[in-house]
């Protein structure tokens, strides 16, 4: 009874702030009347419920006082440009474990129907200088917090979401390729011709026969830009992106910055501790793009660099069907 009253008052305060003082004064009376009305209906219900309050004490309330509320984490319906509420996606790539197996790349290519000459996920053969050791470096879109591509897009076709993802509205893109020139990580690919992806099997969102919000950017369209999307369609199903699950060495960790947790499917780690312990870094930090992909330096390696060389193809990243 008392709880209900404070609840309504809180509601009134919320609204009162918006509607102004005069409305608020009137509302005090109304709330009191309303609470009295609900109190009368309460008498008819006999079921009691045990609930825990925010300070940890158990209270018993009449079940009719319990209202169904919309869940904050519910992502059945969300604005594709806003993203998933209260999430901030992040990836950690452990260079010590990468041996250029390229399973991530082929899985990404298959699941995103990449048909051009340029995959979204690449494994670079890197060597900073002649006197430093070479290593394999997988790259995805960095999903920057200060994305240069988004700044320069003239039509808001590529956009930054609150959950950290940078995505592309291929229905809007005009194909000026300014975003590609802006991206210092060369991560964006262009559909120079008809993508020819065959039949794409995916969850069509509604009767309009257009892909669900999670599939922003698919299918590919001639004359527009594509790139790694951090697999929002997998995240929605509470699953990990394709590259994470495909990697046999557990190189990729995916997670949520707000939860400070990342997982590669086998082990789940505390993000801040992992980055601090293993000296995590981001690519081209000096540019100020603030990527959401972190790298762990290639120390205490899992395998030899040379092992990966036999799988290295300098001029190919997408397997074409013969």
Residues 186 and 220: beta-carbon distance below 8 Å: no
| Nearest alpha carbon to residue 255 among 235, 277, 228, 285 | 235
The span from the CA of 219 to the CA of 194, in Å, is 11
Of 77, 120, 126, 129, the C-alpha closest to 242 is 120
- Member of 41, 63, 151, 268 binding other proteins (CB under 8 A): 151
Task: State yes or no: residue 117 binds other proteins (CB under 8 A).
Answer: yes
188 binds other proteins (CB under 8 A): yes
Q: Which region, left, alpha or beta, applies to residue 112 given φ > 0 means left and ψ of -120 to 50 means alpha? A: alpha
**Beta carbon nearer to other proteins, 107 or 191:** 191
Parallel/antiparallel/unpaired status of strands 158-160 and 135-139:
unpaired
CA separation for the pair 296, 248 (Å, rounded): 17
Choosing from 96, 270, 287, 302, the residue that interacts with other proteins (CB under 8 A) is 287
Size of the site for other proteins (CB under 8 A): 47
Taking the complex as a whole, how short is the minimal distance between the CB of residue 199 and other proteins, in angstroms?
21
Which range binds other proteins by CB under 8 A, 23-31, 124-132, 203-211, 253-261? 124-132
On the 0-12 / 13-18 / 19+ scale of CB atoms within 10 A, 171 is exposed
Nearer to other proteins, 61 or 126 (CB): 126
Residue of 9, 81, 103, 118 interacting with other proteins (CB under 8 A): 118
Instruction: Rank residues 3 and 186 by Cβ distance to other proteins and give the closer one.
Output: 186
Helix (H) or strand (E) holding 151: helix 148-152
Nearer to other proteins, 186 or 268 (CB): 186
Q: Does residue 134 touch other proteins according to CB under 8 A?
A: no
174 binds other proteins (CB under 8 A): yes
Continuous segment of H or E residues that includes residue 305: helix 305-309
- Contact between 123 and other proteins (CB under 8 A)? yes
CA–CA separation, 292 vs 90, rounded Å? 5
Please pick, from the candidates 9, 81, 103, 125, the single residue that binds other proteins as defined by CB under 8 A: 125
The least CB distance from residue 175 to other proteins, in Å, is 2
List 93's β-bridge partners, or say none: 252, 295
Q: Is 154 in the site for other proteins (CB under 8 A)?
A: yes
User: Are 225 and 175 contacting, i.e. CB atoms less than 8 angstroms apart?
Assistant: yes
Which lies closer to other proteins via its Cβ, residue 218 or residue 225?
225
Residue of 34, 180, 202, 270 interacting with other proteins (CB under 8 A):
180
CB-CB neighbours of 177 under 10 Å: 14
Task: Single out the residue of 99, 106, 191, 220 in contact with other proteins (rule: CB under 8 A).
Answer: 191
What phi and psi values does residue 71 have, to the nearest 5 degrees? Answer: -75, 135
Which residues within the stretch 206-225 sit at the binding site for other proteins (CB under 8 A)?
Answer: 222-224
**Chain CA centroid to CA 120, Å:** 16
Among 99, 140, 264, 317, binds other proteins (CB under 8 A): 317
The contact set with other proteins (CB under 8 A) reads: 117-119, 122-126, 139, 148, 151-157, 172-178, 180-182, 184-186, 188-194, 222-224, 284, 287, 313-317
């Amino acid at each position: 009874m008392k709880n209900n009253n404070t609840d309504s008052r809180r509601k009134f305060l919320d609204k009162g702030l918006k509607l102004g003082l005069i409305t608020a004064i009137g509302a005090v009376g109304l709330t009191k009347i309303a609470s009295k009305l609900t109190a009368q209906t309460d008498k008819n219900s006999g079921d009691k419920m045990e609930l825990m309050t925010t300070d940890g004490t158990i209270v018993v309330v009449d079940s009719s006082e319990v209202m169904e509320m919309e869940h904050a984490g519910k992502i059945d319906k969300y604005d594709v440009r806003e993203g998933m509420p209260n999430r901030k996606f992040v990836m950690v790539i452990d260079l010590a474990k990468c041996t250029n197996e390229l399973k991530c790349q082929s899985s990404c290519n298959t699941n995103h129907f990449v048909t051009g000459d340029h995959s979204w996920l690449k494994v670079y053969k890197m060597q900073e200088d002649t006197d430093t050791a070479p290593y394999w470096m997988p790259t995805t879109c960095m999903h920057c917090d200060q994305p240069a591509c988004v700044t320069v897009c003239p039509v808001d076709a590529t956009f930054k979401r609150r959950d950290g993802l940078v995505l592309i509205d291929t229905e809007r893109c005009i194909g000026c390729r300014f975003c590609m020139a802006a991206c210092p990580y060369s991560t964006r690919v262009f559909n120079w011709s008809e993508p020819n992806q065959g039949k794409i099997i995916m969850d069509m969102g509604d009767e309009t026969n257009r892909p669900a919000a999670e599939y922003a950017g698919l299918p590919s369209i001639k004359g527009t830009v594509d790139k790694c999307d951090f697999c929002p369609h997998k995240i929605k199903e509470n699953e990990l992106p394709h590259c994470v699950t495909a990697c046999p060495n557990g190189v990729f960790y995916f997670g949520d910055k707000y939860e400070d947790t990342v997982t590669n499917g086998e082990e789940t780690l505390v993000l801040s501790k992992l980055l601090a312990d293993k000296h995590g870094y981001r690519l081209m930090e000096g540019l100020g793009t603030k990527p959401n992909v972190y790298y762990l330096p290639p120390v205490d390696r899992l395998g030899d660099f040379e092992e990966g060389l036999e799988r290295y193809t300098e001029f190919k990243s997408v397997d074409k069907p013969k």
